[in-house]
Amino acid sequence: MSENIIISTEPATGTELWRGKVGDVDATVERARRAWPAWAAQPLATRIELLRRFANEVRKENDKFAELVARETGKPLWEARTEVESVIAKVEISVRAYAERTGQRKLDSALQGSAALRHKPHGVMVVLGPYNFPAHLPNGHIVPALIAGNAVIFKPSEKTPAVGEFLAKLFNRAGISAAVVQVLIGGPDEGKALVAHPGIDGVLFTGSAQAGIAINRKLAANPGKIVALEMGGNNPIVLWDTPKISDAATLIVQSAFTSAGQRCTAARRLIVKSSLYDHALDEVKRLVGRIIVGGPFDEPAPFMGPVIDVEAADRLTESFLYLMSNGGKPISHLRRPHAGLPFIHPGIIDTTAMAQRPDVELFGPLLQVIKVDSFDEAIAEANNTRFGLSASLIGGNPQDYNRFWANIRAGIVNWNRPTNGASSAAPFGGIGLSGNHRPAAFYAADYCAYPVASSEMEQPRASVGVGFREDRRATPR
């Protein structure tokens, strides 16, 4: 990547996929500000109709879009197809969410007029997208922001600009102005400039805790900008009493290694009851040994593609070695089957004996295992993190789950289900380093518009009461 050019390469092959110029932040913001009032003035029904046209444009390009997502991220084609389907589904979910979360209210009183509640858009919103779901996750901000009447500047990850550009073109092709939805190609510098720009009214971010905290710090003295941060997790999956160890192993593998572990909700830590340890880990290890790791279009279809780039693969390799050299016991070695490419076969390591387990999000197919003896110990270990996005209990009885749900620190708490695969029809977000209490998905409507309370009468009518002297003026005849 040169100073003014960004190049995207396919993780699975290393070949160049796309290149483009870095955008002009000031010009992009100015254009959005000019376009926003007319968009906000459109009737809600018009905005919704245009977004339904966008969903139809995505349907028309379904295959092409999925292939582009697969090529630029490396994820298997079957998974890229599910991402594109999520982009389509987001429109109707967001229409329902806007009606439910930002509905109008009116209370009439004969003498006091009426009290009204309505919602207004913020203005120009920046969406900073991630590379792991380069269409679905930014789309989850863009669609509700547009429904609410905001203009949107979307800066895709510098690792997936081709998907970002394609997504923006589909909005424009549906009849939404290229000034109302703009894509700004750029890297971290452009992202920082957008966050700090005085013409920006809100920042909607999905990415690492480090970047999210930097945004939060930058805007700490500017409460006028709405900020929604989704920052990932160091998510626990707790395995407790169950006879169905094979099913449990499948849920664990799905949680830890779907999308090559590149999901913010992926399980990073398996906390397992000591008496189940040997049987459960044998099943997990056996299943991991069957995982097909390959390119997006390989046959048979792989379960996992590569991670996003060689740099990410190198960091994961270094992390596995660090854990091993500081008391971790390898259960399944993290392997790199293709030199020079970021394919990784999942790693599993027992870190029970480590004096200090690093509380970081290792974003890839690397699972730590911790052995415990009691359920209280399991909950304490699950909560032994500054993050708080997702957590699952596998096994146990309803009383165990009630205790787990009540005591676990997470925004998504599941029972006998994976840690990942959250529904777009529910709120999505976490606590601690996982977010700033502005959950996305169904609750995205909450940060895309602000409530306005009004007291209204058609004619002025008022009288004064206590605290006024008698009016001694003569009454006019």
Q: Is the pLDDT of residue 3 over 90?
A: no
Listed range (145-159, 260-274, 459-473) with the worst mean pLDDT: 459-473
Catalytically annotated residue among 83, 158, 264, 448: 264
Which whole-number Å values give the CA distances from 386 to 233, 244, 360, in the listed order?
A: 9, 31, 9
pLDDT digits (tens, 9 = 90+) for 90-138: 999 999 999 999 988 888 876 778 999 999 999 999 999 999 999 999 9
The answer on 364 and 243 residing in a single domain is yes
Residue 292 is encoded by which pair of tokens? Answer: 């097909």
> Does 463 reside within a domain?
no
Instruction: Summarize the chain as % helix, strand, coil (round to 5).
Output: 40, 20, 40
pLDDT confidence of residue 476 = 57
Radius of gyration of the chain (CA): 26
The answer on 70 and 120 residing in a single domain is yes
Residue 397 is encoded by which pair of tokens? Answer: 């009885």
The answer on 367 and 245 residing in a single domain is yes
Task: Tell me the C-alpha distance between 73 and 385, whole Å.
Answer: 29
CB of 187 closer than 8 Å to CB of 21 = no
pLDDT confidence of residue 124 = 98
> Does 473 reside within a domain?
no
> Does 87 reside within a domain?
yes
Strands 329-332 and 347-350 turn out to be antiparallel
Q: Is the pLDDT of residue 1 over 50?
A: no
The answer on 293 and 274 residing in a single domain is yes
DSSP codes joined into one string, 5-71? EEEEE-TTT--EEEEEEPP-HHHHHHHHHHHHHHHHHS-HHHHHHHHHHHHHHHHHTHHHHHHHHHH
Active site residue 448: no
What is the residue range of 89's domain? 5-231+435-456
pLDDT confidence of residue 441 = 96
The answer on 194 and 70 residing in a single domain is yes
> Does 430 reside within a domain?
no
Listed in sequence order, the residues at least 6 apart from 422 whose beta carbon sits closer than 8 Å to its beta carbon are 265, 390, 412, 428, 441
Tell me, what amino acid is at 355?
A: A
> Does 462 reside within a domain?
no
Secondary structure of residue 334 in the 3-state scheme: coil
> Does 145 reside within a domain?
yes
Listed in sequence order, the residues at least 6 apart from 331 whose beta carbon sits closer than 8 Å to its beta carbon are 281, 285, 348, 349, 350, 369
Catalytically annotated residue among 158, 230, 283, 381: 230
CATH number reported for the structural domain that contains residue 140 in this entry: 3.40.605.10
Q: Is the pLDDT of residue 477 over 60?
A: no
The answer on 195 and 242 residing in a single domain is no
The answer on 439 and 393 residing in a single domain is no
pLDDT confidence of residue 465 = 83
In this prediction the pTM is 0.96
pLDDT digits (tens, 9 = 90+) for 154-204: 999 999 999 999 999 999 999 999 999 999 999 999 999 999 999 999 999
Q: Is the pLDDT of residue 19 over 70?
A: yes
Closest by CA to 347, choosing from 304, 295, 299, is: 304
425-429: Cβ within 8 A, 24+ apart? 425/93, 428/230, 429/230, 429/389
Q: Is the pLDDT of residue 474 over 80?
A: no
Q: What angle is formed at CA 255 by the lines to CA 252 and CA 258, rounded to 5 degrees? A: 120
The number of folded domains in the chain is 2
The answer on 239 and 179 residing in a single domain is no
Q: Is the pLDDT of residue 253 over 70?
A: yes
Active site residue 264: yes
- What is the b/e burial string over 372-385, where b = at least 16 CB atoms within 10 angstroms of the residue's CB? beebeebbebbeeb
CATH number reported for the structural domain that contains residue 320 in this entry: 3.40.309.10
Of 397, 422, 447, the residue that ends a domain is: 422
Task: Tell me the C-alpha distance between 99 and 116, whole Å.
Answer: 16
The answer on 241 and 125 residing in a single domain is no
The whole-number average pLDDT for the span 23-45 is 98
Query: In sequence order, what are the beta bridge partners of 127?
Result: 154, 204
Q: Is the pLDDT of residue 146 over 90?
A: yes
If you average pLDDT over every residue of the chain, what do you get?
Answer: 96
pLDDT confidence of residue 370 = 98
The answer on 294 and 164 residing in a single domain is no
Q: What is the CA 366 to chain-centroid distance, rounded? A: 20
> Does 466 reside within a domain?
no
The answer on 367 and 223 residing in a single domain is no
The answer on 152 and 251 residing in a single domain is no
Listed in sequence order, the residues at least 6 apart from 447 whose beta carbon sits closer than 8 Å to its beta carbon are 202, 204, 226, 228, 438
Q: Is the pLDDT of residue 21 over 60?
A: yes
> Does 475 reside within a domain?
no
pLDDT digits (tens, 9 = 90+) for 428-456: 999 999 999 999 999 999 999 999 999 98
